[in-house]
Structure 1
Amino acid sequence: MGYTLGVIPTLSHLPPTTIGLSMPKHPLTPMMVQYLVGLCCLKSDPDAVDVTIGDMVYDATAEEERDVDVTVTITEAGGVTHAFKAYEVKREGSPLDVAKVEQLCMKFIDMPSVTHRSIVSASGYTATARKKAEKYGISLYEFRAWTRPLQEQFPKLTMQGTAQECFKMASTLLCWSQYQLALVAPQATVDFTVEPGDKLFDSSGSAHRTHATFDEYRNELLLRSTQLLFSLMSAASVMGSLPSLEASQEWPHSHTLDVTNDAVYVDTECGICRIDFVTITGHLQWQNITVEPLYYVIDNISTGDAFAGAVISSLQGDGNMTALVFSPKTRGIDIQPIRLAKKHQNSIRNLKLKLSR
C-alpha cells in the first residue's frame, strides 16, 4: 500500500466533449472557500501588494479591530499604497437574506479604511439582499460551479468550451511503495516493538490528542516524508524523467525525520518514552494517477462578469490541494499549492498570500 503526497498538475488541452459537470455543490470546507477567494483576489488585481486572509481592520465605532475574511492592499499610480479592498466570504446553506447582508453593510460602514467593499457568497443572495447591498454600494459576488464556456468570460485564453472540457488534470505522486520504520526513543533502555494498533500518549501519560494509534501516526509520517522529499525535487525534471506509464521504477531510499516536537510517547518496559527520530527505509516510486478536479468561478452578480476562476485538484486526506488560478484580464495561469496548517482548518487569522510563479 502506498502513501503519497506531492501533486504536479499536468494539463491536457482537449477539444470540446459532452462530459457534464457532476459534483456536490460545494465539497470544500469554509476555510478552503475563504482561501480560494483570497487566491482569486490576488490573481485578479495586478496592483495588489498584500492579500491577507483573516485580517483585522479597525472599527471606528466600536473602537477596536474586527475580523474581515479577505483584505487586499492596493497601489495607485506612482507606487503609493492607499487603500483596502475587503471581501466578506459567506458559505451558507441557503441564499444570503437581507438581514445578513445588512449586518455586513453596517460592519463595512464602520471601517473607514476600507474603500472597496464586497461580499462573496457560496450560496447566492435573495432579491431583497441584492437591493440592500446596492443601496450601500457593496459589490456582490458568487462563488459557484464553473460551467459557462471560457470564450464568454475568459476570452484572452482563446479557448472554446468549458473549463472542464479544456483543462483536465493528472497528478504525479511520490510514494513509499515498500518501507519499514525504525523508531529511536533515547529514554528506552531496552529494545521495544510498536504495533499498528498500539495507543500513543503525551508526556503526562494521557492519550495523545493528535494521534490516537501508531497506525495513524505512521500514515502521517509517510505523508510528511514524501512531502519533504518532494519539495527537494524539481517538478520539471520529474515530469521529464517519468515515463508515460502508471508508475516509474522503484529505487531504494532512506529518510530520517526529527519528530521530537510531535511529543509522541509509546509504552515500553521502561514506561512511556518519547520518540525522537523515525527512519523510513524502503523504496520510493513515482505514480501517475487521473484526478477529478473541481471547477469554480467567482462571478459579479450585477454584471455577470467573471472575477476569477480556479481548477482545483481532488481533495487529499490531509486537506492539501493544488489550484490553477485564472483571471479574465490575462492569459497567464498560476499553479498554486494549497497547504493549510492544522491551525487553519477551522479558523484563519492573518495569513498572507503570494502566488507561486
Structure 2
Amino acid sequence: MPKLPLTPMMVQYLVGLCCLKSDPDAVDVTIGDMVYDPAAEKERDVDVTVTITEAGEITHAFKAYEVKREGTPLDVAEVEQLCMKFIDMPSVTHRSIVSASGYTAPARKKAEKHGITLYEFKTWTKPLQEQFPALTMQGTAQECFEMSTTLLCWSQYQLRILAPQATGEFTVLPTDRILDSSRNDHSAYSTFEQYQNELLLRSTKLLLTLVPAATIMDSLPSQNISTIAAGPEWPHSHTLDVISDDVFIEIESGICRIDSVTISGHLQWQRSTGQARYYVIDHVPSGEAFAASVISSPQGDGTMTALVFSPITREIDIRFIRLEKKHQNSIRNLKLKLSE
C-alpha cells in the first residue's frame, strides 16, 4: 500500500506537536492562531503559536510552509513577505519560519537580516546518536521505531440490505447514488461503495473488543505478532441498525430507506508494516535538530499515531491524531496541551 501524501494541514499539525515537545516551558500551543496586527488594525493568522509564562508571556510563532510547494525552496520574496508580517506583530517576540522545501541562499540572508530563525521540515534520515543522543540508541529512526498497524478486517463478505419500504427485490450497485429523505445527495456518502466501506469499518470497530475477535487476537503468539501478515480467518455475521444514518437508495418503485445491513463472511486480523513516515525539524543552517516525529499511515477512520521526540530528553510523546473534516483545508484556533 503506497504512503499517502502528507497534507499541508498535517504538516502544520506536526509542527505544532514538535513545538510543544521541544519547549519544556510551553503551556499552550495553538494551531491556526489569530494575532493582532496594529498596522493593519486587525487579527491575522499565524500557523502555530507557542505561549510561555516564565518571565511574562512570550509568544513564539512558527510558519509551516505548504507541502504542495515541496521541491521548490522558499525564495527571497516569500521570506521577505513573512518577515514583514512578523515585524507588524510586536506581540510575536520570537519569529521563525518552517519550510518543507528548503530556502534559497538570498532567502536565508533576508531572514538573517530581519532576525528570523529558519527551520526545515524534512525526512528524518540521520542516525539517532547524531541528533538525539539522549535516547542512547544507535541507527536511524526507521530502524529503531518501525511502526505497524493491526486491524480487524472483513476478508470475505457479502451484504444483505433490509429496506422495508421497498416493494419486491432490488439490486444496489457500488456506483449507485446515496440520497437523503428529500431525494438530495446524502451529506456524508455519495455512492453505495463509500457507504459500504463505512459500514465495514463501523462493524470491525464494534467487534474488535468482543469475542471471538478479542480472543483470537490474544491467542496470536506474542513473539511473532510483529512479523505475521495476517491471522486465521473465522466465519461471522453482524447486523447493523442504520436507521439513524438517514440513507436512501433509488429503486424502480421510488426511494426507500435502508434500515439495517447484515454483513456475512469471514473476519481476520491483518497487520501492515513499513508504512510509517519519519520527519525532523532542523535548524538552518546549523542542522541541529529542533524536534522530530514518526507518524503511522492513516487507518480506516483516518486516525494516525504520532511519536514526537526532543533532542534533550529520552521521553517520547505518543499522540493519536484524527483531523476533523473542517480541519482538512484550514485549521483555526486548535489548541495542543501537554495533558492532551
Shift of 1:90: 0.8
**2:74 is equivalent to residue 90 of structure 1:** no
Picking from 168, 174, 177, the partner of 2:155 is: 177
The one of 266, 289, 295 equivalent to 2:249 is 266
Structure 1: any 5+ residue segments left out of the alignment?
1-22
What secondary structure, in the 3-state scheme, does the structure 1 residue paired with 2:53 have? Answer: strand
Q: In the alignment, what sits opposite 1:148? A: 126
Q: Relative to structure 1, is the Cα distance of residues 66 and 280 closer, same or farther in structure 2, using a 3 angstrom cutoff?
A: farther
**Structure 2 segments unaligned to the other structure (5+ residues):** none
Structure 1 residues 74 and 172, CA gap change in structure 2 (3 angstroms): same
Q: Distance in 2 between matches of 1:127 and 1:300?
A: 15
Partners of 1:237 and 1:140 lie apart in 2 by 51
Spell out the pairing of 1:43-192 with structure 2 (5 A cutoff): 43-76=21-54, 82-91=57-66, 92-93=69-70, 94-183=72-161
**TM-score normalised according to structure 2 size:** 0.82
Q: Does 1:352 align with 2:335?
A: yes
The structural deviation recorded for 1:167 is 2.3
Q: Tell me, what secondary structure is at the counterpart of 2:147?
A: strand
The CA deviation string for residues 61-116 of structure 1, in whole angstroms up to 9 with x for no partner, is 11212111112222316xx7x22221111132411111111111111122222222
Distance apart, 1:151 and its partner CA: 0.9
Query: Which of 282, 307, 313 matches 1:324?
Result: 307
Structure 1 residue 174: deviation in Å? Answer: 1.8
3-state SS of 1:168 partner: coil
What is the alpha-carbon distance in structure 2 between the residues aligned to residue 232 and residue 339 of structure 1? 24
Q: For 1:161-192, what per-residue CA distance to the aligned partner results, in whole angstroms no more than 9, with x for missing partners?
A: 22223222222112123444454557657775
* Alpha-carbon distance in structure 2 between the residues aligned to 1:58 and 1:52: 15
Specify the alignment match of 2:240 in structure 1: 256
1:174-323 equivalence runs, <5 A: 174-183=152-161, 193-208=171-186, 211-227=189-205, 241-243=219-221, 244=224, 245-250=228-233, 252=236, 254=238, 256=240, 258=242, 260=244, 263-275=246-258, 278=261, 280=263, 283-315=266-298, 320-323=303-306
CA displacement at 1:194 relative to structure 2: 2.5
Quote the residue 1:30 is aligned against.
8
1:109-132 deviation line (CA, Å, top 9, x unaligned): 222222222110011111221122
**Partner secondary structure for residue 205 of structure 1:** coil
CA 1:348–1:183: 2 relative to 1, 3 Å: farther
**How far is 1:35 from its partner?**
1.5
Partner letter of residue 33 of structure 1?
A: V
Does the CA contact (< 8 Å) of 1:190 and 1:270 recur in 2? no
Cα 1:204–1:320 change in 2 (3 A) is same
Identity of aligned residues (%): 69
CA distance change for structure 1 residues 61 and 40 in 2, over 3 Å: closer, same or farther?
Answer: same
- Farther off after superposition, 264-273 or 247-256: 247-256
Q: 1:176 to 1:101 in 2, by over 3 A?
A: same
Whole-angstrom CA distance in 2 between matches of 1:49 and 1:241: 43
Contact 1:171 1:291 in 2 (8 A): no
Deviation at 1:307, TM superposition (A): 0.8
Matched letter for residue 52 of structure 2: I
Judging changes above 3 Å, is the alpha-carbon distance between structure 1 residues 225 and 329 closer, same or farther for their aligned structure 2 residues? farther
Q: CA deviation at 1:203?
A: 4.4
Contact map agreement 2:201 2:300 (CA 8 A) in 1:
no
Q: Contact 2:27 / 2:337 at 8 angstroms: preserved in 1?
A: no
